[in-house]
A and B are shown apart, each in its own frame.
Chain A
Amino acid sequence: MGELHGAWLELAIAVPLLGAWCVQLARDVRTARSLAGAFAGVTLVLAGAEWIDFQSLHVFEAHDDSRWLGWAGLNDVLVVDKLTAPLLPLVALVHFLTVVSTPLNKAQRFSFGWTLVAEALVLATFSCRASWCLVGLLLAGLVGPWVELRRRGASTRVYSFHMGSFAVALVTGWGLWLHGPASWKPAALICLAFAALIRSGTVPLHCWVSDLFEKATFGTAILTVAPLTGALVAMRLVLPFSPQWVLQGVAVMSIVAAVYAAGMALVQTEARRFFCYLFLSHSSLVLAGLEVARPLGLCGALSVWISVTISLTGFGIVLRCVESRIGRISLAGFHGLYGQMPTLAGFFLLTGLASIGFPGTVGFIAMELLVEGVVEVWPWIGVGVVVTAALNGIAILKVWFRIFAARKRDELIPLGVRWPEKFAITLLTVLILAGGIWPQPGLRSRYRAALELLEHRRTESGMVLQPISPPPSALRVFPNHPP
């Protein structure tokens, strides 16, 4: 294992915690927002430094410089590897931009302190190996949204039911896997897969996500789902140990969920719920790709993970900006806001199209790879990915028309984009377009990560795992299919 040249991970986790404490001392909302933005910015810089440092080491995994908190044993726990190295700055970026773009009327209800705590927890979770510590962090991450729901006086029963099930499945699964007899291992893996499916919001275990979007602040809801923590559970706790039948089961459920969520996005009459289903559809696609356990499919899933996080965070921020101006956005009619906010309309379209893998955006090749990888193993499931992308595309344009078109409005109040919002969305746009026009470096990095993850899956799991072979039906459809 390599050693980073600084304590980037420890600092990246400590800084937002310190920030959370400072934000509590702030006298007003403006100061709290500025402080939170500053601490989130520093965290982003530290996470970026970690990524650059890790890239220079050319190793599969690395821990912080042992001169720092090495005595506390954290070096064995906090480890960055090729999977998570780019995800840490991405998570930090998502938090930073969400905090920075928070308008003042939203800031009254959005807790900056809890957001920074949540950021520290997510960063720690993404830096953690498969261990009880990871399980503990995953459970700790559930507390923030629950507290917010309670504070807002909303019912927590849907959230508690699903997250309680997640916690039980996770703890039982990991406990059985580590300490149970050999005959209980399949049950342990099923529990862990079940936990991953709940955390990813896979149908029919998804209602907690739509409930969260209904009742929590939009910012908290975005930050809870955007890093795709459920996919991380699958990567860390399911993929390395599971035999083919578990992976196949998860993949089939994920594809069904992706198509279902894409269809549900089409019939929603409120923007948050639409966004929720759009996100669920994409997260299910990522989960399906991860379970393929083949280099191309895995590379596609890892790339879609990044592209979806970037594009849908941007998309969510745009919706949040619109919501901050006109309140909850009903999709039952047309709003015709293009004239008032043309910039937001443009960004809405760009980020939405990027999420479905439109050519020229960061998701295009990633989605192609995902489809290619899935079809390589299960051709009919690949068709599901294509159908999902088609339905999502229709839903995005439909909602664009609902919000920005079909009405003539003459507003006296300026509704244009504010500069922090413009900064946040412009930054994401640059990433979307740069990744779309020049995709090779990012994809090569994900491809290497996929190869090494599969190699680790073979060597470290202690199980003889056969690569998934295509079913006979695939061979019948494609007779020249490579064996």
Chain B
Amino acid sequence: MGTSEQWLAWLGMATVISPVALLLLLGTSMLAGLRASELWVGQLTRAAVLIGLLATLGVLVLMLVTGVRYVPVGLGDWVHLGGTGHEFSFHLKFNFDRLSVPFTILVFVLCGTISEFAQRYLHREAGFRRFYLLYALFLAGMVVSSLAGTIETLFLGWEFVGLSSAMLIAYFHERRGPVQNGLRVWAVYRLADAAFLVAALAMHHLHGHGDFGHFTGVGPWPDGRADLGAGPAMLVGLLLLVAAAGKSALVPFSGWLPRAMEGPTPSSAVFYGALSVHLGAYLLLRVNPVLQESWIVRLLVVAVGLATAISAAISARVQSDVKSALAYASLTQVGLIVVEIGLGLNYLALIHIIGHASLRTLQLLRAPTALRDWQQIENAIGPESPVRDGRLGEAAPGWAAIAVYRFGLERGFFDTLLDRFLVAPLMGLFRESDRLERIWTDWLDRRPSRESDLAELHPEGEGE
């Protein structure tokens, strides 16, 4: 192994290990009940982000200098079972290429910025340490997902991102709204995770392992070609599209994104405005060679992206708070990014992600002072003239304008549709089963069989 290869391997490992070490340190101290000072937490986070960022930049420089386009870094087999014709291995492999390196740099830059912002924004907040623990979980998840060389590794990071996101939305857990929204996001993520896992299993069966290099064929990103038939590619592609739709709030799962803004501003900015919301798009970029094998999947990707962009653009225009408006503005761009991916414009999509994520982070961080900014602008240039409808709005018939307004105000009816046609029937079915079970046990007992019916809602007292 040459010197540059050795350096690449070391730097690659440092990129992955630094956020994982941060997570372990903060997690262990929390579990042990230690109350680390804000200063210590901040310094530790800063060090981990800086090490990770510098290491990734080092990888980038070395790749540019040596002209290498693809650097696999293996940490070995986490688990390996086999020797009898039934093999199973969980290989911890990370790929540094033209897709993962820019995205990882973006992750470190934005997370670093947010960490510095949050140290002041959340100063002396009761949940300061909890925020940073979840932040570390998110950072580790994002870095692992971005660099994952196997689908199992990607799934590992994907799960970290999901949990941290849901818990951060419910950060202000003493209020009911954030908690309910956090649970809703978690439910959508679990659905996306299930689709992802089934896709991973299908890939395993098609190739015997989950290494991206094998099912995206020969050639570094984005030139790889998958050696799948159209049928299997369609099956896997559709499952991955569902997974990406859940993670990136694409239609019909768009409803979770504005709900995610219940969290503290730093988390809204970096997670739902910048990084988390792009993770689904990133997944589609990563598996683009699979998508390219099936025109049906490509068509669906474009359709879903377009539907998301249009519906989000409409909803953004009727939001009454700045964070929700920004959330839908984000979603509009994510929809367009997905359209670009469907059309095979991979580099454009990547650049779009990076530019959009940076802009949106800045906007969301300025959101708490939006009124003050507005006043400053008005003081400088005078009050703005009242907003008027555009030409299209003026030309449209009244009923159409009302329908579009209603569509926007109801956020595309997506949550309503999911609730009515998916959640309600499912919950109804299980509640009915519960009722039947009660009838059965009551009949066997010849009296009411459930002591739990007597459980008081708040035997401990009202508290509040």
Q: A214-B452, A405-B179 are in contact. Are A328 and B190 (CB under 8 A)?
A: no
Contact A481 B205 (CB under 8 A): yes
Residue contact B90 to A405, C-beta cutoff 8 Å: no
B446 contacts chain A at the CB level, 8 A cutoff: yes
Kindly state the separation between the CA atoms of A478 and B88 in the bound complex, as whole angstroms.
Answer: 18
Residue pair B205, A393 in contact (C-beta under 8 Å): no
Cβ-defined contact, B444 with A480, below 8 A = no
**Complex Cα gap A215–B152 (Å):** 43
Interface residues of A in 460-483 (CB under 8 A from B): 477-482
The binding surface of chain A is classed by DSSP as helix
Residue picked from B79, B441, B456, most chain A C-beta under 10 Å: B79
B208, A478: Cβ atoms closer than 8 Å? no
| A346 contacts partner chain B, Cβ-Cβ < 8 Å | yes
Q: How far is the CA of A343 from the CA of B426 in the complex (A)?
A: 34
Is A409 part of the contact surface with B, judged by Cβ < 8 Å?
Answer: yes
Asked if residues B198 and A406 are in contact (CB atoms below 8 Å), the reply is no
A383 to chain B: which residues have CB within 8 Å?
198
Tell me if B88 and A332 are in contact (CB < 8 A): no
Nearest A residue to B182 by beta-carbon distance?
Answer: A401
Residue A368 contacts which of B30, B90, B176 (CB distance < 8 angstroms)?
B90
CB of A393 within 8 A of CB of B79, answer no
A480 contacts across to B, CB distance below 8 A: 205-207, 232
Check if A184 is an interface residue, CB within 8 A of chain B: no
Report which of A327, A346, A375 forms a contact with B459, defined as CB distance below 8 A.
A327
B165-216, CB < 8 A from A: 166, 170, 173-176, 179-180, 182-183, 186-187, 190-191, 193-194, 197-198, 201-202, 204-208
Judge if B450 is at the interface, Cβ distance under 8 Å.
yes
Say whether A404 faces chain B, with CB atoms less than 8 Å apart: yes
CB distance from B149 to the nearest CB of A (A): 16
Q: Which residue of chain A has the shortest Cβ distance to B229 in the bound complex?
A: A479
Q: List the one stretch of B117-125, B369-377, B427-435 in contact with chain A.
A: B427-435
Among candidates A158, A338, A359, A386, residue contacting B198 with C-beta atoms closer than 8 Å: A386
Q: Which of B444-458 contact A (CB under 8 A)?
A: 444-447, 449-452, 454-458
Decide if B163 is an interface residue (CB 8 Å cutoff). yes
Q: 10 interchain pairs (CB within 8 A)?
A: A214-B452, A268-B434, A328-B451, A336-B463, A371-B197, A383-B198, A398-B183, A401-B179, A406-B175, A443-B81
* Ranked 5 nearest A-B pairs via Cβ: A409-B463, A328-B455, A270-B452, A326-B460, A327-B459
- Residues of A at under 8 Å CB distance from B? 154-155, 157-158, 161, 207, 210-211, 214-215, 260, 263-264, 266-270, 272-273, 294-296, 299, 325-330, 332-336, 338-339, 343, 346, 350, 353, 358-359, 364-365, 368-369, 371-372, 375-376, 379, 382-383, 386-387, 389-391, 393-394, 397-398, 401, 404-411, 429, 439-440, 443-444, 447, 451, 477-482
Question: CB within 8 Å of A: which residues of B?
Answer: 30-31, 33, 78-81, 84, 86, 88, 90, 152, 155-156, 159-160, 163, 166, 170, 173-176, 179-180, 182-183, 186-187, 190-191, 193-194, 197-198, 201-202, 204-208, 229, 231-232, 235, 426-427, 429-431, 433-434, 437, 440-441, 444-447, 449-452, 454-460, 463-464
